[in-house]
Structure 1
Amino acid sequence: MKNAAMKKLALLFLSLSFIACQNEKKTISSSDQVNETDLSFKYDSVKVSSNVLVKGNENLTDTTKAVISYPVFSDQKINQFIEQKVMKFANEGEHYATYNDFASSFIKNFDAFSKENKEYGQTWFLDAKVKVEEQHPQYLSFLITFVNYEGGAHPNSSFTYLNYDPQNHQEILLDSLINPGSMPELTAIAEKIFRKNEKLSPTASLKDNYFFENDKFSLNQNFSINKKGLKFLYNPYEIKAYAYGITELVIPFADLKDVAKPNSLLNPAN
């Protein structure tokens, strides 16, 4: 009888242990699904070409093209955010709903121009790209590049960063990363780095070689966060002549300790 009782007790413990393990597995699996953010993506593109052929040097013919490449995420909310932002940057008095609308409109404008200027011997081009610069569970950074030519001495180009919180599905703005009222302090830190990069003394004038308003250094809102710190980008013509191209400025995390919010992305602990 004793052996029978022991066997029943052992079977009871095994059953309880099995049930506990199954419940634990279910709990872990459910939690993972709630917290996991799918940031997988692949690149795609649209390309629209004009039917108008332009004869160039050595009797070679070419045509105007508009190409837009962009990432496609598994999460549609991220895709919608990117596309809406690109269309906003591309808006030149017209409303574009999709990448294809924008590319087609560029070609339509060239075709109309070519029809009125039949002796015009040049093609146009549009090359737009959205590149994933940084990819983390709490942070996505995109660089939107527009390079286009519509006649003139040289192509036009612009480089714009987008910062996105994939967990809360919202854009990350600079003010949300720094303490309230700390923008003047952040600007002062950045100016020291800027002057060092440009080989300028602390008191050298910015009047002759730069385009800052009132000849006073200022930060823009075109930023990204990388492994080195907080990075700002100035476009051609923004603070310097076109020939100088873009100007980049990186503020190391160590220099941000007094202006960064404790729990923001500018805190290296995050």
Structure 2
Amino acid sequence: MKNAFRLLPLFMLLLGCENGDKLTFEPIHISNKDCEDCPKIDIAIPKALDEVIISNRINTALEEEIISLLSFDEGQEINTIEDAIESFTKSYKELKSKFPDETIGWEASVESDVSYEDDNMLTLEFNAYSFTGGAHGYGSSSFLNFDKVKGSELENWELFDDLEGFLRYAETKFRIQEDIPQDDNINATGFMFERDAFHLPENVGYTKKGIQLVYNQYEIASYADGPIALTIPYAEANKYLKRKVKL
């Protein structure tokens, strides 16, 4: 019996999310507002607290996204958010020391929260903005999708049982939303899809209202057009999804 009880914590770690309970999150806020001669950095993300594998996957994925946003020194090994903040700050100060009259204050902000959760799936929406000089900054929205039972982060194609079918249906919905005639070229009204062919965006995620497709600035249109989002209700999307949502 002792051996059986020793295995229990590992069993709970591997399968803890199969009980359908929602994960527990703690809000984390990181900023450097006390540094006068530093770029403005503001990070607000959830931290998964449950002792299950998926919690580690979520926290690691969020950390990697922030590191990617803030890392500027390719020669520096960056493994933590603190390292990334240091890299971002160092790069700003080096530029300002070289061009004190031309360097405008840099800034970076991150905000993330749960956009959907059920027994099997969890999706985080990740909104980021950075300005490092130039005419304007750049903002983006992305989704991080997770299989709670397997404890893994999912690629977009892993969300679907019928990816080709969903692609065709999404194009029909996109044309309706954007007033593009169904028999015209997808770029007939000014979009910039490569090779004149509709494609899914880099960011697809579960939300409370349905599967959402988010085309960030420059992905299929100009910066001035802003991000373009399309939400397909689960009543329509479920037939294509690998992990269907109860209606």
TM-score normalised over the length of structure 1: 0.73
Is the deviation greater in 216-225 or in 169-178?
169-178
Deviation larger for 215-224 or 234-243: 215-224
Residue 152 (structure 2) aligns with: 170
Amino acid corresponding to residue 46 of structure 1 in structure 2: I
Give the whole-Å Cα distance in 2 for the aligned partners of 1:150 and 1:234.
22
Q: CA deviation at 1:259?
A: 2.8
> What does residue 82 of structure 1 align with?
62
Q: Highest relative contact order (Cα 8 Å, sep 6+), 1 or 2? A: 2
User: For the residues of structure 2 that align with 1:146 and 1:88, how far apart are their CA atoms?
Assistant: 11
Q: Are the equivalent residues in 2 in contact too, given 1:195–1:202 (CA < 8 A)?
A: yes
Match of 1:47 among 31, 37, 49: 31
Q: Which residue of 2 aligns with 1:191?
A: 171
Is this contact kept in 1: 2:22–2:117, CA < 8 A?
no
Which has the larger Rg?
1
1:64 lines up with 2:39 in the alignment: yes
SS at 1:256's partner residue?
helix
Aligned letter for 2:214?
L
CA contact (8 A) 1:185 1:259 kept: yes
Question: Counterpart of 1:69 in 2: which secondary structure?
Answer: strand
CA pair 81-123 structure 1, distance change in 2 beyond 3 A = closer
Counterpart contact for 1:144–1:160, Cα < 8 Å: yes
Of the three residues 178, 182, 194, the one matched with 1:213 is 194
CA distance in 1, matches of 2:65, 2:164: 28
CA RMSD of aligned residues (A): 2.7
Matched residue pairs, number?
224
Task: Report the alpha carbon displacement of residue 46 of structure 1 after superposing the two structures with TM.
Answer: 1.8
**What is aligned with 1:22?**
none
SS of residue matched to 2:39: strand
CA shift for structure 1 position 83: 1.7
5+ residue gaps in structure 2?
1-10
- Out of 222, 226, 230, the position equivalent to 2:211 is 230
Instruction: Quote the Cα distance in structure 2 between the aligned partners of 1:93 and 1:111.
Output: 12
Runs of at least 5 residues in structure 1 that lack an aligned partner in the other structure: 1-29, 53-62
Distance 1:186 1:69, change over 3 A: same
2:245 is aligned to 268
Q: Distance in 1 between matches of 2:212 and 2:246?
A: 18
Q: Is it true that 1:204 corresponds to 2:204 in the alignment?
A: no
Give identity over the alignment, percent.
25
After superposition, the Cα gap between the structure-2 partners of 1:67 and 1:269, relative to the gap in structure 1 and judged at 3 Å, is: closer
State the AA in 1 paired with 2:63. Answer: E
Note the 1:31-180 alignment, pairs <5 A: 35-36=18-19, 37=21, 39-48=23-32, 51-52=36-37, 64-75=39-50, 76-77=55-56, 78-88=58-68, 94=74, 95-120=77-102, 122-179=104-161
> In the alignment, residue 191 of structure 1 is paired with which amino acid?
E
Q: In 2 relative to 1, CA 46–228 (structure 1 residues): closer, same or farther, beyond 3 Å? A: closer
Q: Match of 2:222?
A: 241
User: C-alpha separation between the residues in 2 aligned to 1:203 and 1:157?
Assistant: 33
Q: Is the 8 A contact 1:46 1:100 kept in 2?
A: no
Could you tell me whether the CA contact under 8 Å between 2:24 and 2:49 is conserved in 1? yes
> 1:190: Cα distance to partner?
0.6
Aligned-partner residue type, residue 201 of structure 2 = N
Distance 1:45 1:81, change over 3 A: same
Shift of 1:208: 6.0
Offset of 1:124 from its aligned partner? 1.2
* 1:83–1:197 Cα change, 3 Å: same
State the shift of 1:38 in Å. Answer: 6.0
- Residue 191 and residue 243 in structure 1: after superposition, are their counterparts in 2 closer, same or farther (change >3 A)? same
Amino acid at match of 2:124: F
Any conservation in 2 of the 1:68–1:103 contact (CA below 8 Å)? no
